[in-house]
Amino acid sequence: MEVACPQCGNPNLDVDEANSVVFCKNCGFAVKVDPQSGNVTPLSEGGAGGGAMEAPQSYGKKSIFGTDPLTFFLGATAVLLLSLYISFIPMSYFMLLESAVILIWWYGR
Ligand SMILES: [Zn+2]
């Protein structure tokens, strides 16, 4: 099937022959194609936003709290650094929370 992903433009869509599902490993977009009628049923729109249709885990990438593990790690670290910078949290809290973030990221990768 020579169709690019409508969500991210990835030209290499993967096909799950057993379930007649065409999906994009890049963004999680997935549609079910009925081999009899040719009807296409959207399963996941992929990309950001989420919405009503949750991306099936097998078609999406690993995530922590719904975000990419690296995004989670960088975002949480940025928030902690900012909190430390404006003296919202003491250094000991920062070390503790940053350790937790690294642990969650490490096991969630
Ligand atoms: Zn895609």
Is residue 96 domain-resident? yes
Q: What is the pLDDT of residue 60?
A: 53
69-85 and 91-108 helices, crossing angle to 10°: 180
Instruction: Collect the ranges in the chain with pLDDT lower than 70.
Output: 1-2, 47-61
Residues belonging to the chain: 109
Do residue 54 and residue 73 come from a single domain? no
**8: CA distance to ligand 1 center in Å?**
4
Cβ(37)–Cβ(24) under 8 Å?
no
Q: What is the pLDDT of residue 61?
A: 61
**What is the end-to-end Cα distance of the chain in Å, rounded?**
31
Which of 22, 38, 59 is the endpoint of a domain? 59
Is residue 2 domain-resident? no
In this structure, what token pair is assigned to residue 8?
A: 């991210």
**15: CA distance to ligand 1 center in Å?**
13
Is residue 20 domain-resident? yes
**17: CA distance to ligand 1 center in Å?**
18
21-23 vs 14-16, strand pairing mode: antiparallel
Secondary structure in 3-state letters for 33-82? ECCCCCCEEEEECCCCCCCCCCCCHHHCCCCECCECHHHHHHHHHHHHHH
**13: CA distance to ligand 1 center in Å?**
8
pTM of the model: 0.41
**76: CA distance to ligand 1 center in Å?**
26
Is residue 1 domain-resident? no
**45: CA distance to ligand 1 center in Å?**
9
Do residue 40 and residue 74 come from a single domain? no
Is residue 48 domain-resident? yes
Q: How many domains does the structure of the chain reveal?
A: 2
Q: What is the pLDDT of residue 7?
A: 85
Do residue 54 and residue 19 come from a single domain? yes
Provide the residue range defining the domain that includes 90: 69-108
